[in-house]
């Protein structure tokens, strides 16, 4: 099958989130494409869910897919955290309303297969999606690239984009083709890049009593954690994580049977996952489930000649932060799809924070215990702030107009901010120096006695600063940490005076 005479032709290998998103983008670019998917259906039920973030929703809105997804979801409004015995850790973290107010889109969970189906339905020419196509070999020709499949067919194009997951055949073929030109050390690092320190039982359950739509629940204990998110109709999307005894590499990472998955679930059934709900309640209402090793990988080479890689092929992360599918969509966008230098600065910190979330929630060490037990409860906006930071620099489809909804948020998407765009610590220290000097001057003035601490007592007793023209309430709580608030409260009153 020769390459199209009309211009550039892209062969997409893999019909998951990344591949179907790329197909939708290319059709609006008037670029010819062909998508090869090894499965016999486009939307199999494999027990997986997906958390869709504002950055992903904005792109899906540009592609005309958002409304169909929005009908199936309920925004996750708040997340509560618990120890395994059910004791709550601080107040619930507000999430959905804050994020939606900032970006115009919320954060939601739904079946992954539903997103596959919606993306597929929005491809105009279904003849460009071929099922039961297992890639056997990729061959570079003089002016094209050829993809050979196991059924004996060959497909010509100008570019091959591998969207075929962590065990990518396209990536293997890229290694084979590039081997004569690459140092052996680089190839060895690439081939040994996949590791796993955790495994995960994930699944979907019918509604359970006491679980409300739009709520998220996290459970923490040593070397294990549980995440549950309640979608529309009470449908529960859950994940049970456990640390391996040691880090596994490549072929050491096992594939699990159904019997092993059921035995694994028994370790969690007595853990609390929310108010009056144990994991046993979710397990008894299960519809689908699967046990997998959680691969992590950051590959060095993302493109070579006429081959490019997208999604889990090159940046595989753990799912606790919900960034895997979002990163796949973010980086399928036109020009950046094939340019590693443009993608790396943003994806590296996102991968680092995503993988660390798994370790923190499984209480890896004393630092993580302290963060969960003491720090996060007083930083109730930390989830929302972290999400804002990750999303602010998100990509968009540059040649498609933004929708009215994407412009309704209070925060402007800005590619010059966010992960990978942070100022150096030295620069931030210089900018903070005047504030630090002012703070030092204030403290020294108080300690010298020019301002007596006793003079503040009437203000705190009355709760007001009073002057001839009126009064104003005294603010005495700033961080929720008593000793810190005791230091800042007199300073605020001093400056108000």
User: The domain that contains 309 carries what CATH number?
Assistant: 3.50.50.60
Say what the pTM is: 0.83
Residue 492 Cα distances to 122, 251, 488, angstroms: 56, 60, 6
Position 460 pLDDT exceeds 90: no
Q: How far apart are CA 477 and CA 497, in angstroms?
A: 18
In a domain, 483, yes or no: yes
pLDDT greater at residue 356 or residue 333:
356
Domain range for residue 463? 425-496
Residues 30 and 130 in one domain: yes
In a domain, 439, yes or no: yes
Nearest to 153 by CA among 177, 133, 139: 133
Residues 401 and 433 in one domain: no
Report phi then psi at 252, rounded to 5.
-70, -20
Residue 141 Cα distances to 3, 4, 135, 164, 296, angstroms: 12, 15, 17, 22, 33
Q: How far apart are CA 168 and CA 92, in angstroms?
A: 40
pLDDT tens per residue, range 266-306: 999 999 998 889 999 999 999 999 999 999 999 988 888 89
SS3 269: coil
Residues 191 and 91 in one domain: yes
Are 192 and 299 contacting, i.e. CB atoms less than 8 angstroms apart?
A: no
Residues 46 and 160 in one domain: yes
Give how many domains the chain has, as a whole number. Answer: 2
Residues 466 and 370 in one domain: no
Q: Domain end: 407, 435, 462, which one?
A: 407
pLDDT tens per residue, range 391-423: 777 788 888 998 989 888 887 877 777 666 666
Residues 82 and 150 in one domain: yes
DSSP conformational letter for 19: H
Residues 62 and 176 in one domain: yes
Q: Domain end: 378, 407, 436, which one?
A: 407
Query: 107: which 2 tokens?
Result: 């954060």
Nearest to 170 by CA among 366, 314, 68: 314
Residues 385 and 439 in one domain: no
Residues 25 and 142 in one domain: yes
∠114-237-278 over CA atoms, to 5°? 160
Residues 367 and 479 in one domain: no
């Amino acid at each position: 099958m020769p390459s199209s005479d009309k211009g550039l032709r892209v062969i997409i290998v893999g019909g998951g989130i990344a591949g179907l998103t790329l197909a939708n983008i290319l059709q609006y670019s008037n670029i010819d494409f062909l998508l090869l998917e090894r499965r016999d259906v486009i939307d199999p039920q494999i027990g997986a869910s997906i958390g869709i973030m504002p950055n992903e929703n904005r792109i899906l809105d540009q592609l005309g897919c958002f409304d169909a997804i929005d009908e199936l979801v309920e925004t996750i409004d708040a997340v509560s955290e618990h120890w395994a015995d059910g004791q709550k850790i601080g107040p619930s973290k507000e999430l959905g309303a804050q994020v939606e107010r900032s970006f115009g889109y919320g954060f939601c969970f739904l079946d992954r297969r539903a997103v596959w189906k919606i993306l597929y339905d929005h491809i105009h020419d279904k003849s460009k999606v071929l099922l039961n196509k297992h890639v056997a070999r990729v061959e570079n020709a003089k002016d094209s690239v050829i993809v050979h499949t196991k059924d004996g067919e060959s497909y010509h194009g100008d570019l091959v984009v591998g969207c075929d997951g962590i065990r990518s055949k396209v990536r293997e073929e890229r290694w084979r083709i590039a081997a004569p030109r690459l140092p052996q050390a680089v190839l060895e690092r690439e081939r040994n890049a996949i590791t796993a320190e955790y495994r995960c039982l994930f699944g979907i359950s019918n509604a359970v009593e006491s679980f409300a739509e739009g709520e998220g629940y996290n459970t923490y204990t040593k070397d294990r954690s549980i995440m549950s998110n309640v979608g529309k109709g009470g449908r529960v999307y859950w994940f049970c994580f456990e640390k391996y005894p040691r880090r596994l590499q490549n072929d050491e990472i096992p594939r699990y049977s159904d019997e092993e998955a059921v035995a694994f679930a028994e370790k969690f059934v007595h853990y609390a996952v929310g108010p009056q709900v144990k994991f046993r309640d979710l397990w008894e209402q299960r519809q689908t489930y699967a046990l997998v090793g959680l691969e992590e990988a950051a590959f060095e080479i993302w493109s070579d000649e006429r081959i490019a890689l997208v999604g889990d092929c090159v940046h595989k992360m753990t799912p606790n932060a919900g960034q895997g599918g979002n990163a796949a969509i973010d980086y399928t966008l036109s020009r950046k799809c094939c340019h590693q230098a443009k993608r790396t600065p943003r994806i590296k910190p996102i991968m680092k924070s995503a993988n660390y979330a798994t370790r923190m929630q499984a209480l890896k060490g004393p630092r993580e215990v302290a963060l969960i037990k003491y720090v996060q409860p007083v930083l109730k906006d930390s989830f929302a702030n972290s999400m804002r930071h990750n999303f602010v620099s998100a990509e968009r489809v540059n040649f498609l107009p933004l929708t009215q909804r994407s412009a309704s948020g209070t925060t402007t998407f800005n590619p010059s901010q966010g992960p990978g765009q942070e100022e150096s610590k030295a620069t931030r220290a210089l900018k903070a120096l005047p504030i630090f000097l002012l703070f030092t001057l204030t403290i020294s003035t108080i300690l010298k006695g020019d301002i007596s601490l006793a003079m503040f007592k009437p203000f705190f007793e009355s709760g007001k600063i009073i002057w001839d023209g009126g009064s104003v309430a005294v603010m005495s709580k700033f961080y929720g940490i008593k000793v810190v608030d005791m230091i800042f409260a007199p300073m605020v009153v001093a400056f108000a005076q």
